[in-house]
Copies of this chain bind each other. A is one copy, B any other.
């Protein structure tokens, strides 16, 4: 069975409600019934639309970090540029919601963890490889990507998921400012 444009508003409402519910309560606690109720739709329709709860999760999580090309940024500004892009991504309502949802679900869902591995290992590592070129020591670049991903994920975890007081209370500018020198240090090697 295919779907027509007629049901698209309902499907979009379900997706939005799913993102909200998954991000707010985690992948297990979020129930199909609650999502359907939030979207004003029958629970069975959710299954009809997306096949299963897993299918719904897969449809609700799609993200592209659109990382900048650091080669076109002065070496001394790269940490700040990356820090700025980072807080922009996470503070944006839609992008941030998907990222929060992924980070929340990853520890207990192998599928979400895979998505994060793709996003951060492939995209972040790709960015660094593009920056360093192929002539450099690739093992060192990989190590840097690991540390870089850890710092970024850790900041996101502290600020947006766990809401540790120092990071959650700070403004976006303050976070970017605190993060810039750390990222600069990792990039500088």
Contacts and interface: CB of A to CB of B under 8 A. Distances in A.
**Oligomeric state, in copies:** 2
A113 to B, nearest CB: 5
A51 to B, nearest CB: 21
A116 interface: yes
Given A146-B170, A157-B150, A162 B117 contact: yes
A55 interface: no
Interface of A: 25-29, 103-108, 113, 116-117, 120-121, 125, 142-143, 145-147, 149-155, 157-159, 161-167, 170, 174, 178-179, 181-182, 185-186
B182 A167 contact: no
Contact of A158 (B29, B149, B158, B167): B149
Nearest to A100: B107
A153 B151 contact: no
Contacts of A106: 161-162
Contacts of A158: 146, 149-150, 153-154
A162 to B, nearest CB: 5
Contact of A108 (B108, B121, B146, B151): B108
A83 to B, nearest CB: 11
A182 B107 contact: no
A29 B167 CA distance: 30
24 contacts: A25-B108, A26-B28, A26-B108, A28-B28, A28-B108, A104-B108, A105-B107, A107-B107, A107-B161, A116-B162, A117-B162, A120-B164, A143-B174, A145-B166, A146-B158, A147-B167, A149-B158, A150-B155, A150-B157, A150-B167, A151-B182, A153-B162, A182-B182, A185-B185
